[in-house]
Structure 1
Amino acid sequence: MYQEQTSIHRSGSAGKRMGLRFFGYICFFAGVLLLGGCKSFYDVDPYSVIKEEDFNKNREDLNASAIGMYEPLTKEVHKFLLWGDARADMVTTGQAEPDPYINEFVANTISKENPYTSYAGIYKTIARCNRQLEKVYTVARLDDKILERDAGAFYAEALLLRAYCYYILVRNFERFPLILSDYAEQIKYVDQSGDTLIRKTRSLPADEIRGTYYYPKSRDEVWEMIYNDALTVLGILPLNYQWNRNSLPAQERYGRVSQVMAATFAAELALWLGKYQAASAFANSPVRNSNHTLSTSGTWINQFTGSYASLHSLFLLGYKYPNSFETNRLQEFTSSVAGDGGRYYLKPASTVIRNIFSYEGGDIRTEFSYKVINGDTVIWKYIGLDNGISMRPGYQSDASWPFYRSADAFLIKALADLMLEDYATAFNFVNMLRIARGLEELDPAQTDYRNKEYMLDVIFKEKAREFAFEGKRWYDLMLWSKLSGKNQLAAAVASKYPSPKREEVEAQLQDEGHWYMSIDPLLWK
């Protein structure tokens, strides 16, 4: 049954109404790699505050640049919620009269002009990663305190974060460019005569700049590039963040990519590519890492109520409202309390989540992922402060956004071993997660755990519970379809609609070409 309806208890004083403010570490970078033809493509001096000759000289500059690579992504988490959950089966529209652009995601009728399809923020991060890749070893030559291993760590960090950005793009968009060079200062390209030219970026008109973008010939080409980049960094990034001769604070340990995140990422990529032995092997690293465990059900909610969560976290975007008023838009999108800035754009799809969440008692995920508040079913992960009824103060959306948690590695391991027909190991990993979340382990004598189709259903249901409303469900349905050889996405997504919309959406999504968003790149600068 559904959880009992509760009334809201406001924890702390109401926050001042503040506009969104995010990390301000780097102000010297070039603007986003605009994909349009406007005159301002590269008009703005990217070093208007900190001049080039005053930067990129030492370790501190490299570290500041590294932190700055993440900043554009902190502004995009509401889009990740739309792309990965609003389109899928567990989320629907909260408003009686839905916002038309939000509703396009819920209804799977996304127009090319929809502003929430803009991938400009992702390309800002890609641009900053490219810049870091091309500056690391130049700076290392200027600062003799930067050891080779330190320079390698900075380089690998930028390469891994860029690969993850392309991972976001390849699972979401029908077509997008690959940009693998820093275009802030100059561009290297081959002209019609076959000569390699290097020209100042600001000397090129927008049409010529667009001509230097590389559009991949196939989606497989992008997958292989991402996978190869992930493998490259595995041997360079230090284990447990002990690089740069510093023990990093929590916000950098979990708010930056790491070796253990790289292993989890490589395992997931290998799973998508059908390299199951590699996926299982890569997953062993985070699974065996004592700094990252499944922990217990009693600590599970901490990763959402605090800025950073040790043990659970592998890689997240964190916010610090008390110190610097850093916020995101998750409260706006999920809260039904208008006085707190809640627009209630999205809510759990009741008919679907009843069939996914466990009601056998004790599952912390059922108790905390969503609640019924004053008659409204709400996504609780980003607005709740505890497992009771305490909510975040108004306009203080500082809930972290997790990209990878320890549970990812455990469930990737379960899927990989299942595909290798190591049924006992896959079954055991499912039980490890269940026990950690407060559920009883499944009895092998009463579970058809050697039935691959059945176990795929079991594992993806655990993934749905564990990562509900974390922007993963759409891609999990894609992966499930790939592993099973059947289109699992179409029927699952359609299940949240009433007839005849249900039949219409299911028929549409039988074509995998409709799984990807089309956008007009000229609109998103």
Structure 2
Amino acid sequence: MRKLIRIKGKLAVLILIMLFSCSCNKYLDLKPQDGIIKDEFWKTKEQLQAAVIGCYASLLGSATGNGTGNDRPLADVLFVWGEARADMVGGGPGVTVDEVGILSDNILSSNSFTNWAPVYKIINYCNTVLDNGPGVMQYDKTLTQTQLNAYLSEALALRALMYFYLVRSFGDVPLKLKSTASDTDLQQLTKTSQKDVLAQILTDLKQAESNAVFSYGDNASNKGRITKYTIYTMEADVYLWMDDYNDCITACDKVINSGQYGLVAGTGGWFNTLYYNGNSSEGIFEFQFDSQKLNPFYAMFLTNKARYVSGATVMDDFFGIDFNDATDYDIRGSGASVNTNDNNIFKYVAATSTTYRTTDVSYAHWFVYRYADVLLMKAEACINVNRGQDALTLINQIRTRAHAIYLTAQNPNVTDVNGMTDYLLAERGREFAFEGKRWYDLLRNAKRNNYARIDILLSAAISSAPPTSQQAILNKLKDVNSHYFPIYYNEIRVDPNLVQNPFYQ
């Protein structure tokens, strides 16, 4: 844990580096002047706002980072964590040794993608705001309690989101709720149980919900910063992971009944509106990449060193192909998620259904949540509380927008929880292809009721694993401790209080 939180120098310098290296005109309207030190920084509401906006800017990654280890862009990390262990991606010509290890479920503690430092770095930025923000009121009398509480709610919710990624990826993780400003503040922490971390996440979200705003007054901020609706959506996701279905439905309904969101119509401009431009009526929370801060996806998916491609059978297994009618196709498949000419992952690098972006316009957003997710989370919860018909209606709403073809339609009995779950998972695969959700979707449903559906993980492995390693992967997946990453070796080396996750001991 020591390396994880080792941040040198004055707190304000940390924020300055973060702000200037991650500048993005959709976020950074206010920023502190160069040379400001800690004692001079937390004095005005403008400085507080700049620090909060800096937390969001840190989601985009360092402009000076080399794309590895601590400097790896968060969107890169979240893609790998959410997709590489699942059944929809394969290695491209530039796939690294560490990524091959994840794709083949041969994950070592030396694998650089088990380095959680990029996520804890953002947690520390949030903790910095939470620790220092309240003190601004004694210096700036124009800062109201309502304004302060709203800023703190953003930091609380963003910290909760980062911990939610950690517990789904690692299981038990260190829970750090105070900031680290310098080497004198170093702490060495033990792991906290996943159950207790989830409880803290919900505590933070409930506190954030009470003070968050419904709107910032402009569309980009409403999609790129955390609102009450973002928090409702996050709560729904956490409740679903915890098998708290009724609270999940309640949280989803707060978003659905707000009238603030809707599915982008599945017409000719669907892809451009939702993915190329971003911040559509469907977006709830998106990483705001733009021309000043490009995303990492061009190198990941498009060059001759692309690290990932679509799985070889994704079009057949998920979207379906109607060989008898070329006009019958799922709009989410060819020309949207996948370029079937070269099997490239397409939605982040496409300019049109047949052409690619150029590197200078590689600023497709990373979606954390969009309205389709709310509908399908509610559907999943409904399946598990004897509301199968409601779930089927929601699934069909998604399918209708996407012009899903008859080959992928299923007709499970609405009382058949397993059959409905399989249909729901297939639809989530189509809807959120390559959006960093697939592994978490599979694991969440497999682990339910004491792993009553471990077959979900095993079936995914059978459909995607190379025949030569299939049996080894299946044997590993039968051990539930293997479903979480190991702790990165260097964290174990420098922090004697950390114990390696059981499967990797």
TM-score w.r.t. length of structure 2:
0.83
CA RMSD of aligned residues (A): 2.6
Give the aligned partner of residue 340 of structure 2.
372
Pick the aligned partner of 1:215 from 191, 206, 222.
191
Give the 3-state SS of the residue equivalent to 2:238 in structure 1. Answer: helix
Change (3 A) 1:64 1:366: same
Give the aligned partner of residue 357 of structure 1.
319
Give the aligned partner of residue 230 of structure 1.
205
Per mean C-alpha deviation after superposition, the further-off stretch among 398-407 and 43-52 is 43-52
The answer to which structure, 1 or 2, has the higher relative contact order (CA under 8 A, 6+ apart) is 1
Give the 3-state SS of the residue equivalent to 1:315 in structure 2. Answer: strand
Give the 3-state SS of the residue equivalent to 1:450 in structure 2. Answer: coil
CA distance in 2, matches of 1:126, 1:219: 17
Is 2:309 aligned against 1:311? no
Per mean C-alpha deviation after superposition, the further-off stretch among 343-352 and 121-130 is 343-352
Letter in 2 for 1:370: V
CA distance in 1, matches of 2:406, 2:247: 27
Aligned length: 450
Q: CA deviation at 1:352?
A: 4.3
Letter in 2 for 1:90: M
Pick the aligned partner of 2:100 from 93, 100, 103.
103
CA distance in 1, matches of 2:314, 2:333: 13
8 Å contact 2:12–2:36 — kept in the other structure? yes
Say which structure is richer in strand: 1
Give the aligned partner of residue 252 of structure 2.
283
Change (3 A) 1:102 1:395: farther
Pick the aligned partner of 1:399 from 354, 358, 364.
364
Is 2:132 aligned against 1:148? no
Give the 3-state SS of the residue equivalent to 1:306 in structure 2. Answer: helix
Pick the aligned partner of 2:233 from 226, 251, 264.
264
Give the aligned partner of residue 23 of structure 2.
none
Q: CA deviation at 1:412?
A: 0.7
8 Å contact 2:337–2:346 — kept in the other structure? yes
Change (3 A) 1:94 1:203: closer
Q: CA deviation at 1:136?
A: 2.4
Change (3 A) 1:47 1:147: closer
Runs of 5+ unmatched residues, structure 2? 14-34, 61-72, 323-327, 495-505
Equivalent positions of 1:49-448 (< 5 A) are: 49-74=35-60, 75-95=73-93, 98-184=95-181, 201-203=182-184, 209-211=186-188, 213-216=189-192, 218-239=193-214, 241-242=215-216, 247=217, 249-298=218-267, 299-302=269-272, 305-321=275-291, 324=292, 326-335=293-302, 337-338=303-304, 343-359=305-321, 361-367=328-334, 368-373=336-341, 376-387=342-353, 389-394=354-359, 396-439=361-404, 447-448=412-413
8 Å contact 1:292–1:406 — kept in the other structure? yes
Give the aligned partner of residue 20 of structure 2.
none
Q: Percent identity?
A: 26
Change (3 A) 1:270 1:98: closer
Letter in 2 for 1:329: P
Q: CA deviation at 1:371?
A: 1.1
CA distance in 2, matches of 1:117, 1:91: 19
Q: CA deviation at 1:223?
A: 1.5
Runs of 5+ unmatched residues, structure 1? 1-31, 185-200
CA distance in 1, matches of 2:383, 2:470: 31
CA distance in 2, matches of 1:303, 1:274: 34
8 Å contact 2:95–2:306 — kept in the other structure? no
Q: CA deviation at 1:85?
A: 0.6
Q: CA deviation at 1:500?
A: 3.4
Is 2:12 aligned against 1:47? yes
CA distance in 2, matches of 1:417, 1:501: 37
Say which structure is richer in helix: 2
Change (3 A) 1:112 1:290: same
CA distance in 2, matches of 1:407, 1:295: 9
Give the aligned partner of residue 500 of structure 1.
468
Q: CA deviation at 1:250?
A: 3.1
Give the aligned partner of residue 69 of structure 2.
none
**Cα distance per residue 1:185-205 (max 9 Å; x no partner):** xxxxxxxxxxxxxxxx5446x
8 Å contact 1:477–1:489 — kept in the other structure? yes
User: Which aligned segments of 4 or more residues in structure 1 are displaced greater than 6 angstroms?
Assistant: 440-445
Change (3 A) 1:54 1:515: same
CA distance in 1, matches of 2:402, 2:308: 26
Give the aligned partner of residue 462 of structure 1.
427
Letter in 1 for 2:307: Y
Give the 3-state SS of the residue equivalent to 1:390 in structure 2. Answer: coil
Give the 3-state SS of the residue equivalent to 1:47 in structure 2. Answer: helix
CA distance in 2, matches of 1:110, 1:296: 41
CA distance in 1, matches of 2:371, 2:438: 17
Give the aligned partner of residue 68 of structure 2.
none
Change (3 A) 1:504 1:70: same
